[in-house]
Structure 1
Amino acid sequence: MTTPRLSPLSLALLLLLALMWGSSFLFFEIALRALPPLTVTLHRVGWAVPVLWLILRASGQRIPRGWGVWGAYLVLGLLNNVIPFTLIGWGQTSIESGLAAILNGTTAFFGAIVAGLLLADERLTAGKLAGAAIGLGGVAVIMGPSALTSFDPRDLGQLAILGAALSYAFAGVWSRSRLSGQDPIANAFGMVSASAGLSLALQLAVLGPPKLSLALETWAVIFALAVLSTALAYVLYFRILALAGATNLLMVTLLVPPVAILLGWLVLDETLPASVGAGFGLIALGLVVSDGRLLPRRGKKPASG
Structure 2
Amino acid sequence: MLSKRVTLLLVTAITPLLWGTTYLVTTELLPPHRPLLAALLRSLPAGLLLVAITRTLPRGSWWWRSLVLGTLNIGAFNALLFVGAYRLPGGVAATVGAIQPLLVALLSTGLLSQRLSLRTVLAAIAGVFGVGLLVLRANAHLDTWGVVAALGGAVVMAFGVVLSKRWSTPAPLLAVTGWQLVAGGVVLLPVTFLVEGAPPAFTAQNLAGYAYLTLIGSAVAYALWFRGIRALSPTDVTFLGLLSPVMATTLGWLVLDQHLALAQGVGALIVLTALISAQVRRKPKPIAPAPVLVPAAERC
The alignment's TM-score, normalised by the length of structure 2, stands at 0.85
Alignment gaps of 5+ in structure 2: 290-300
Q: Kindly provide the CA deviation profile for residues 42-96 of structure 1, in whole angstroms up to 9, marking residues without a partner as x.
A: 1121221244246xx3xxx441331411211101111111111111112212211
How has the CA–CA distance of structure 1 residues 138 and 203 changed in structure 2, closer, same or farther, with 3 Å as cutoff? Answer: closer
Aligned to 1:22: 20
* Secondary structure in 2 matching 1:123: coil
Alignment map for 1:1-305 (pairs within 5 Å): 7-30=5-28, 33-53=31-51, 57=53, 61-120=54-113, 122-144=114-136, 146=138, 150=141, 152=142, 155-208=144-197, 210-211=198-199, 213-294=201-282, 300=285, 303=288
After TM superposition, the structure 1 stretch with the greater mean CA deviation from structure 2, 72-81 or 129-138, is 129-138
Shift of residue 118, structure 1, vs aligned partner: 1.1
Tell me the amino acid that sits aligned with residue 69 of structure 2. L
What is the rounded CA distance, in whole Å, between the counterparts of 2:276 and 2:47 in structure 1?
35
Q: Kindly provide the CA deviation profile for residues 213-263 of structure 1, in whole angstroms up to 9, marking residues without a partner as x.
A: 212222221221111111111100111101212111111221111111111
* Secondary structure in 1 matching 2:232: helix
RMSD: 2.7
Alignment gaps of 5+ in structure 1: none
Shift of residue 143, structure 1, vs aligned partner: 2.5
Shift of residue 204, structure 1, vs aligned partner: 4.4
How has the CA–CA distance of structure 1 residues 133 and 106 changed in structure 2, closer, same or farther, with 3 Å as cutoff? Answer: same
How has the CA–CA distance of structure 1 residues 272 and 165 changed in structure 2, closer, same or farther, with 3 Å as cutoff? Answer: same
What is the rounded CA distance, in whole Å, between the counterparts of 1:38 and 1:231 in structure 2?
18
User: Is the Cα contact below 8 Å between 2:22 and 2:213 reproduced in 1?
Assistant: yes
- The structure number with the bigger radius of gyration is 2
Tell me the amino acid that sits aligned with residue 101 of structure 2. A
- Percent identical among aligned pairs is 26
How has the CA–CA distance of structure 1 residues 180 and 28 changed in structure 2, closer, same or farther, with 3 Å as cutoff? Answer: farther
Tell me the amino acid that sits aligned with residue 264 of structure 1. G
Tell me the amino acid that sits aligned with residue 178 of structure 1. W
What is the rounded CA distance, in whole Å, between the counterparts of 1:274 and 1:53 in structure 2?
46
User: Is the Cα contact below 8 Å between 1:6 and 1:248 reproduced in 2?
Assistant: no
What is the rounded CA distance, in whole Å, between the counterparts of 1:242 and 1:132 in structure 2?
21
Shift of residue 98, structure 1, vs aligned partner: 1.2
User: Is the Cα contact below 8 Å between 2:79 and 2:188 reproduced in 1?
Assistant: no
What is the rounded CA distance, in whole Å, between the counterparts of 2:287 and 2:138 in structure 1?
48
Runs of 4+ in 1 over 6 A off after TM superposition: none
User: Is the Cα contact below 8 Å between 1:258 and 1:276 reproduced in 2?
Assistant: no
* Secondary structure in 2 matching 1:158: helix
What is the rounded CA distance, in whole Å, between the counterparts of 1:141 and 1:111 in structure 2?
22
Shift of residue 145, structure 1, vs aligned partner: 6.2
* Secondary structure in 2 matching 1:108: helix
Tell me the amino acid that sits aligned with residue 19 of structure 2. W
User: Is the Cα contact below 8 Å between 2:174 and 2:223 reproduced in 1?
Assistant: yes
Q: Kindly provide the CA deviation profile for residues 158-188 of structure 1, in whole angstroms up to 9, marking residues without a partner as x.
A: 2111110111100001111113544321211
Q: Kindly provide the CA deviation profile for residues 110-131 of structure 1, in whole angstroms up to 9, marking residues without a partner as x.
A: 11111222112x2222222112
Tell me the amino acid that sits aligned with residue 24 of structure 1. T
* Secondary structure in 1 matching 2:129: helix
